Chain A
């Protein structure tokens, strides 16, 4: 069964303290892994798509990486405005439906 697990559930960091969020997945035939950011009461905002192991993508203070079993979202020198819930989703080649993780709530304290 296709499955996505995100860890930790919540992460509190000081401003400037770098860290990583994890997204572990099991899927038959990975077509893509997606990262989103969601602010309270709003729709998720698309960040990255990763397609194959070894691929990396960057955007400002965020960098996403992918292996055959997991993806990491690295946050370098975060600022309070990076506080949000970060969601991960995978798409397999069985029916292309997105399988979503529960998210990691990131809090950056000034």
Chain B
């Protein structure tokens, strides 16, 4: 079974730009969660989607948004990028919100 895939793997953007990251979950998984990871902050929860509905949202500004499609694939968008948005963005999928999560390799975003 293929694992969670994330595209792109690496991205360099300039302050003020916007970016869209994509996540394809494991086949059959309907829940997708997004995390931001920086060296000093560990794993920070962004949001969780299940059956196209946002179930939970972390404490991030409105510049961070996401959505889930009917095939469970998910995208997250960050508008008006700031230097502090440089991080590893991780997507995780699970059968449902009650099951263990399986992570993708992440997208390394660098904002200059």
Contacts and interface: CB of A to CB of B under 8 A. Distances in A.
A34 B20 CA distance: 29
Nearest to A44: B103
Instruction: Assign chain B's interface to a size class.
Output: 20 to 34
| Chain B interface SS verdict (over half) | strand
Interface stretch (A10-18, A22-30, A95-103): A95-103
A41 B43 contact: no
Closest 6 CB pairs of A and B: A43-B103, A100-B43, A97-B56, A102-B42, A96-B97, A44-B103
Interface of B: 4, 33, 42-43, 45, 48, 55-56, 88, 90, 92, 97-98, 100-106, 108
10 contacts: A31-B98, A32-B100, A42-B106, A44-B92, A46-B102, A95-B55, A96-B55, A96-B97, A100-B43, A103-B42
